[in-house]
Amino acid sequence: MAAAARGRCVRSSRELWTILLGRSALRELNQIEAELSKHWQRLLEGLSYYKPPSPNSAEKVKANKDVASPLKELGLRISKFLGLDEEQSVQLLQCYLQEDYRGTRGSLKSVLQDERQSQALILKISPELTSAGDPPLFAEEDWP
């Protein structure tokens, strides 16, 4: 699905946690150090890494000719659902498609054309911010 994503995929939050927990495929200390150094600011910022939606970001997504229209549309829906920056939402979608999507290109096309299936995909993508194996980002008593 890398071709379908057509974008540079940055490390997902799940991948960064996997590296931190010592469960990644990276075994060489210098590789681990390089990855953590590269993403140190993001780790330090935690959730504040993710920005709120903005009209400027939405316009950039719409103007981006490197991303297919159906992916842009789904990325904008993800942005609304999660309350995230539109560009980051498209990036999150691209990472999911590249790393975690288990369907074919044809099945992705079907998913993007079907409202119920695309809603299910959004729900699958949203845990990317806090995947099941990750430490909780908030204590239960902090939940709204």
Cα 62–chain centre separation:
18
Q: How confident is the model at residue 17 (pLDDT cuts 50, 70, 90)?
A: confident
Task: Indicate if the pLDDT at residue 33 is higher than 70.
Answer: yes
Q: Is the dihedral of CA 104, 114, 4, 8 positive or negative?
A: negative
Task: Indicate if the pLDDT at residue 136 is higher than 70.
Answer: no
Distance from C-alpha of 67 to C-alpha of 1, rounded to nearest angstrom: 13
pLDDT tens readout for residues 71-111: 999 999 999 998 999 999 999 899 889 888 899 989 999 99
Q: How confident is the model at residue 20 (pLDDT cuts 50, 70, 90)?
A: confident
* Identity at 119, one-letter amino acid code: Q
Which of 81, 75, 82, 13 has its CA nearest to residue 49? 13
65-103 CB burial, b ≥16 within 10 A, e <16: eebeeebbbbbbbbbeebebbbbbbbbbbbbbbbbebee
pLDDT of residue 128: 53
Distance from C-alpha of 135 to C-alpha of 61, rounded to nearest angstrom: 31
Residues 6+ apart with CB under 8 A from 92: 12, 75, 78, 84, 125, 128, 129
Is the pTM higher than 0.75? The answer reads no
Q: Pick the residue with more confidence: 4 or 45?
A: 45
Q: Any idea where the domains of the chain sit in the sequence?
A: 11-49, 51-132
pLDDT of residue 16: 78
